[in-house]
Amino acid sequence: MVSLSAKETGDADPVDSGWVDEVLLGGPEDDVCLHLGAPVTRGELRKLVAGCRQDLADAGLRRGGTVALCLPPSLAFITSLLASWQVGAQASLLDHRLTAFEVDVALQRLAPQVVVTAASAGGGPLRGFSEVAGRVDRYPGKAAATSHAVIQLSSGSTGPSKVIGRDAASLIEEVKRYTLIDGIPRGGERIVSLASMVHVLGLVGGLLYSLHAGVNLTIPARTTADGILSTVAASDQPTTLLGVPFHIELLASVLEPPRLPQLTGMTTGGELVRPDVYDMFTERYGVRLGNMYGMTEAGVLATDLFGRHRPSLTPAPGITFREQDGELHFALPASPYLGEQDPRRWSDGWLHTRDAGTVDPRTGLIRVLGRRDSQVSVGGLKVDLTEVEHTLAALPEVAGVVVVCDHAIEAYLVLAEGCELPAVERQIATRLAPYKRPRRLHLVEQLPRTATGKLVRSHAALRDADPDPSPAPPAAGADGAR
Amino acid sequence: MSGMLERSEVIAMLATYGDREPGQVPETIDSLELAWLIHQVEQRYGVLDIGDEALARMSTVTGALDVFRALRIGSSDA
C-alpha cells in the first residue's frame, strides 16, 4: 500500500465524505435497494462498498484524491462510485462506450490517480447492466484541484469536451429537489431504470434518488420491449419507468402490452415525443407519461410529469429561469466548468443552457425549443456534431468534411489525394465512440460553399454535392451496440 | 429459404423507427435500432432467444439477417 505524500494531495478542500452514509446508504439492513439480476439489500450494499473502499485505498486513493471510473452500468460501477465518495475522493465518470483512444485523451486531461475499469468483458448489446468486477489500477495523476465530488465530460460545442464538476452539496440538493416533485416515486416504490447511470438522469434521478428515498432501483437484464415489460411485471411494487424518448416509442409500439397494474407511470428526459406516440403510449398503458428537462451541469431543472402542460414544463423547486435573447438561462451561483471559463456558458450567476426557449411571464412555465448550437441527442446521449467534425477533419486522409444530423449523423467528406475510404473508416472506429460515429459517409469532390467561402451545412446542398446519394459502406464497427 | 425473413423485410421493420423511408436505413444498426428490430420481429414471430454473441453480430443489416436465418425466423418449421 502506498500513501500519497502531502504534496500530492493538493490545496483544494477535500470532498466531504460523510454524506454518502448520511444521504444515500442509511436505512434498514434488509431493505432491498437495488435489483440488478438479483436483489441487493442495504446491508449487502454497505459491505460491498466497504470492500471496494479497501481496494481503492490499497491503490493509494486518499481523501482529496482522484479516481476515474470507466465501467459499464453494473454493481461494480455503483459500489466503486459510492466507495470513492466515502474515501473523500473526486470521481470522474467516463462513458464505457468511449474508444480506447478517447479514454486515453480523457485520462490525460483529467489526470486521475486511480482508474477503475471492467476486469473482463461482461456485457453485450441490449444488456441493461453488466456483470463485471472492477479492476483498480494506479495512474500517474494529480490530487483534486477542486472540491467537486463528480466530474463528467460533456460533448462541447466547439473544440474539446467540456469538463463539468458538481460538489456533494449540488448532488444532495438535486436529490432533495426530486423529493419535492409531485409524481416522483416515494419510499417503498420501485423505479425500473432504462437510463444510463453514468449520465445525470440515470445517476441522480435513478441511482442516488432511489438510495436516498428508499426506492427500489431495478435495471432490466435486457432492454428489449419484452425485457422491460417482463421486469415491470416481476414485482407487485408500484413501479415507475425511467428512460429516454426512444423507450416511449419502443413501448408504445407494443400492440398488446400485458396488464401491468403495478405500473404507475413513465418519466423520460430529453426531447418530447411526437403527439401520436404520446397518445399511443398513454392509451396502451393507461398511465401518466411525463417529461423532465435537465442538464449535466445541475441535474433536473423542470418537469411535466403528468403531461398537464405539454409541451411546457414547470421549473423544479428552487430553480429560477430567465429568457435572455431567446435563450434559456437558469440561476446557478458558481460556474460548473473546470478550466478555462467561457462567459457564453456561465456569467454573473446564470448558466446559459444554449437551448432556445421561452419563459411565460404569467405562469412561469418554460418551453424548450431546441438547441442553439450543434449538439444533437442520439438515444438520449448528447453528441456535439462539431466534436465529430473536428475529429474527422484532423485525420490526414480527410481534406474537408461537414457533419450533419437528420435522422442520423452523416458526414460529407473530401478525401486527401491518394487516400481511400477504408482508412478513414478504421480511424473513425478508433477515435469516436459508436454512438458518435457518422452512420453514413458520403464522398464528394468538393464541399458546397457560400459566395464568401463559408461551408454550407444545408442537407439539400450537401445532397446535391453527392454524386452517389447511396451511402458508402459503413465505418468498421460503427454500431452503438456494445 | 422459403418463408424466411428477407432483407427487404428487415429494412422495412427498421424503417418504422423514426418514420423513415427504407432508403434512409443505413447498413449499420445501432443499439436502439437493434432493440427496435428485435421487438418488431418478436411481435410478429414471438419472443426470441438470442444470446449476447448473436446479438453482437447484429450490428449490420446483413449480420441481423444472418442471425434471423440461422434461427429460421419466419420459416414455417421454425
Contact A434 B24 (CB under 8 A): no
Which spans in A254-369 are helix H?
A: 275-285
Q: Are B37 and B29 in contact (CB under 8 A)?
A: yes
A200, A106, A93, A155: which is closest to A371 by C-alpha? A155
Mean pLDDT over residues A278-303, rounded?
Answer: 95
Question: Between A and B, how many CB-CB pairs are < 8 A?
Answer: 89
The beta strands (E) that lie in A20-65 are given as 32-35, 39-41
pLDDT class for A450, splitting at 50, 70, 90?
Answer: confident
**A126 has a chain B CB within 8 A of its CB:** yes
ipTM: 0.91
pLDDT of residue A387: 85
**B47 has a chain A CB within 8 A of its CB:** yes
Q: Are A361 and A355 in contact (CB under 8 A)?
A: no
A436–chain B nearest CA distance, Å: 11
B43–chain A nearest CA distance, Å: 8
**A275 has a chain B CB within 8 A of its CB:** no
- Cα three-residue angle A6-A109-A436, rounded to 5 degrees: 150
Which of 1.10.390.10, 1.10.287.3510, 1.10.1200.10, 1.10.357.10 would CATH assign to domain B7-70? 1.10.1200.10
d(CA A321, CA A332): 10
Sign of CA dihedral A375, A151, A135, A195: negative
* Digit-coded pLDDT (tens) for A420-433: 999 999 999 999 98
pLDDT class for A16, splitting at 50, 70, 90?
Answer: low
| Nearest beta carbon to residue B31 from set A226, A474, A481 | A481
A367, A477, A469, A381: which is closest to A422 by C-alpha? A477
- Highest averaged pLDDT of the listed ranges A22-31, A466-475, B11-20: A22-31
Average pLDDT over chain A reads 89
For chain B, the domains span 7-70
pLDDT of residue B77: 56
A238, A307, A237: which is closest to A267 by C-alpha? A307
Mean pLDDT over residues A200-212, rounded?
Answer: 97
Q: How many CB atoms lie within 10 A of CB A19?
A: 18
Mean pLDDT over residues A22-51, rounded?
Answer: 97
pLDDT of residue A449: 81
* Digit-coded pLDDT (tens) for A76-128: 999 999 999 999 999 999 998 889 999 999 999 999 999 999 998 767 889 99
Residue B62 class from Cβ within 10 Å (0-12 exposed, 13-18 middle, 19+ buried)?
Answer: middle
Phi, psi angles (nearest 5°) of residue A176:
-70, -30
The three cell numbers of residue A22 are 448520511
d(CA A431, CA A357): 34
List the beta bridge partners of residue A93: A69, A152
pLDDT of residue A223: 94
* Digit-coded pLDDT (tens) for A121-174: 767 889 999 999 999 999 999 999 999 999 998 765 444 568 999 999 999 999
Q: Residue for cell digits 431546441?
A: A370
pLDDT of residue A155: 64
Mean pLDDT over residues B63-68, rounded?
Answer: 96
Whether the pLDDT of residue A6 is over 50: the answer is no
Residue of B nearest to A381 (CA): B32
Instruction: Give the N- to C-terminal CA distance of chain B in Å, as an integer.
Output: 11
The three cell numbers of residue A358 are 421561452
The three cell numbers of residue A124 are 453485450
d(CA A86, CA A84): 5
H-helix or E-strand containing A150? strand A150-154
DSSP A42-54: HHHHHHHHHHHHH
Residue of A nearest to B51 (CA): A124
A382, A403, A383, A407: which is closest to A392 by C-alpha? A403
DSSP state of A130: B
A378 contact residues in B (CB cutoff 8 A): 30
Q: Are A129 and A219 in contact (CB under 8 A)?
A: yes
Query: Residues 398..437 of A with a Cβ closer than 8 Å to B: which?
Result: 407-408, 434-435
**B12 has a chain A CB within 8 A of its CB:** no
Q: How far is CA A228 from CA A34, A251, A270, A435, B76, in A?
A: 16, 9, 20, 22, 28
| Nearest beta carbon to residue A479 from set B18, B28, B53 | B28
Contact A125 B31 (CB under 8 A): yes
CB neighbour list of residue A109: distance below 8 Å, 6 or more residues apart: A160, A163
pLDDT class for A482, splitting at 50, 70, 90?
Answer: very low
pLDDT of residue A386: 84
Q: How many CB atoms lie within 10 A of CB A311?
A: 14
**B76 has a chain A CB within 8 A of its CB:** no
Contact B27 A379 (CB under 8 A): no
Which of these ranges, A238-247, A367-376, B32-41, has the smallest mean pLDDT? A367-376
Q: Are A477 and A429 in contact (CB under 8 A)?
A: yes
Residue of A nearest to B39 (CA): A225
The three cell numbers of residue A91 are 470521481
List the beta bridge partners of residue A41: A32
**Which residue segments constitute the domains of chain A, with CATH numbers given?**
6-166 (3.40.50.980), 171-319 (3.40.50.12780), 378-465 (3.30.300.30)
A238–chain B nearest CA distance, Å: 25
